[in-house]
Amino acid sequence: MSRILLFTILLLVLGACNQHRPSAVIAQSLPPETVTFQPAKNVILLIGDGMGLTQISAALYSNNNRLNLEEFSIIGFQKSFSSDNLITDSAASATAFSCGVKTYNGAIGVNRDTLPVSSILDESEANGMATGVITTSTIVHATPAAFLAHQPERKMYEEIALDVINSGADLLIGGGKKYFDQRTMDTRNLYQELAEKNYLVSDFFQTDFLELSYSADKNLAYFSANGDPVPFAKGRNYLVPAAKMAPNFLQSRSQKGFFLMIEAAQIDWGGHANDFNYILNEMLEFDQVIGEILQFAKENGETLVIVTGDHETGGLSINLGSKMNDLNPKFTTEYHTGTLIPVFAFGPGEALFSGIYDNTDIFQKMRQALQLDDRNSVLELVPASTGSSQ
């Protein structure tokens, strides 16, 4: 009898040991078919380049313990690693967001075999939606480029510019004018070619963005600098007003909805420079952008807003001796780190973004929220010299 009892106890112990145990995978958001949500008509993706949890914390504790980010109730975390490195760069991370594939560091809208992959912007255009990209870097820099272009290397700026003019985007705002009209690889004037493609084209030489006149009858391309835009602390002033006008502009461009990506690029630059004040200034400007976008989304009721970073930069920490509005920051590197990156979501489809998941899932979740039609994921590769990205 004692042997039978012992055997029974042993079976129970073994059975308990063999039961499925929770893991990081369980922390992923629920499978799409189990999440009930109202589809979104519009998606606005806000990317703080180099923005990790400590950058957010530093901005919060340097702004009287208040950020617009606190209005989000749905928060998740994304794994930022690329296909060839645990520490991603902006190109691979943005390609994960834009195209839904893990790829190598330096890749722009292509997979690990360098084949172009359709982006959320490509698919939105194919479905008749309006699209826009706004950045505080050049419009051909890694993050915006991953939504607008398909090139094997992030520093192919003039080739990326060719893709940009053929992207079909309704709204383009950022620096990098010289890659369009002062080219070295050919004699084309892409600035003029944009005008011929029904764009109102302007730049900081002609008019300040705050004084720009435009209408929904034409696409809009505004170059905020010949090369890199200056930091916010040195007078850059277009990001918040651009974020305020963009949703209304895109909404008037299509009755089928819109996709908009806005990048606060220079949070990353402050991290690379290990310049805490640079980071703070860029973060607080970005939070103003978040506030403007949230206000639009609340009034509109059909817009999904997502805020995340592509990676953390600088290995920033807040250390002993810090006080509210008077922090003691330290850096561990002048490059990126591999920490998980927070994701904030608000609006129709927000429930899809809770949990822990790969950065590539952000693409899938945006598609699901918009209920985009399925399309072939691999685009036909055409040499950049033809001026076409598809």
Q: What is the DSSP annotation of 230-246?
A: PPGGGT---HHHHHHHH
The reply to whether 388 falls in a domain is: no
30-34, 283-287, 374-378: the lowest-pLDDT one: 374-378
Domain that holds residue 292: 41-375
Q: What SS3 class is residue 204?
A: coil
**Mean pLDDT within 341-350:** 98
Number of domains in the chain: 1
List C-alpha distances in Å: 267 to 54, 137, 271, 281.
12, 11, 6, 8
Residue 7 pLDDT > 50:
no
Q: What is the pLDDT of residue 37?
A: 84
The reply to whether 36 falls in a domain is: no
Local structure of residue 167 (DSSP, 8 states): S
Cβ–Cβ < 8 Å for 132, 170: yes
Environment class of residue 115 by beta-carbon count within 10 Å: exposed (0-12), middle (13-18) or buried (19+)?
middle
Q: What is the pLDDT of residue 373?
A: 64
Q: Say how far apart CA 261 and CA 338 lie, in whole Å.
A: 23
What is the longest distance spanned by two Cα atoms in the chain?
Answer: 95
Query: What is the rounded average pLDDT for all residues in the chain?
Result: 90
At a CB cut-off of 8 Å and minimum separation 6, what does 338 contact?
80, 81, 86, 87, 88, 311
pTM of the model: 0.89
List pLDDT tens digits, range 41-60: 999 999 999 999 999 999 99
**Mean pLDDT within 315-341:** 98
Local structure of residue 217 (DSSP, 8 states): T
The reply to whether 6 falls in a domain is: no
Q: What is the pLDDT of residue 36?
A: 80
List pLDDT tens digits, range 203-232: 999 999 999 999 999 999 999 999 999 999
Residue 374 pLDDT > 60:
no
Cβ–Cβ < 8 Å for 313, 48: no
Per-position DSSP letters for 316-351, written without gaps between them: -EE-TT-BTTB--EE-S-SSEE---EEEEEESTTGG
Nearest to 241 by CA among 208, 278, 276: 208
List C-alpha distances in Å: 227 to 101, 203, 281.
29, 12, 21
The reply to whether 7 falls in a domain is: no
Residue 271 pLDDT > 70:
yes
The reply to whether 223 falls in a domain is: yes
Decide the pairing of beta strands 219-223 and 258-264. unpaired
Six token digits for residue 237: 């002033």
Residue 19 pLDDT > 80:
no
Residue 163 pLDDT > 50:
yes
Residue 18 pLDDT > 70:
no
Q: What is the pLDDT of residue 35?
A: 74
20-24, 117-121, 157-161, 281-285: the lowest-pLDDT one: 20-24
The reply to whether 73 falls in a domain is: yes
Q: Say how far apart CA 249 and CA 235 lie, in whole Å.
A: 25
Q: Say how far apart CA 268 and CA 310 lie, in whole Å.
A: 10
CA angle, 176 then 305 then 36, to 5°:
145
The reply to whether 24 falls in a domain is: no
Residue 29 pLDDT > 90:
no
The reply to whether 383 falls in a domain is: no
370: CATH: 3.40.720.10
Residue 236 pLDDT > 50:
yes
Local structure of residue 163 (DSSP, 8 states): H
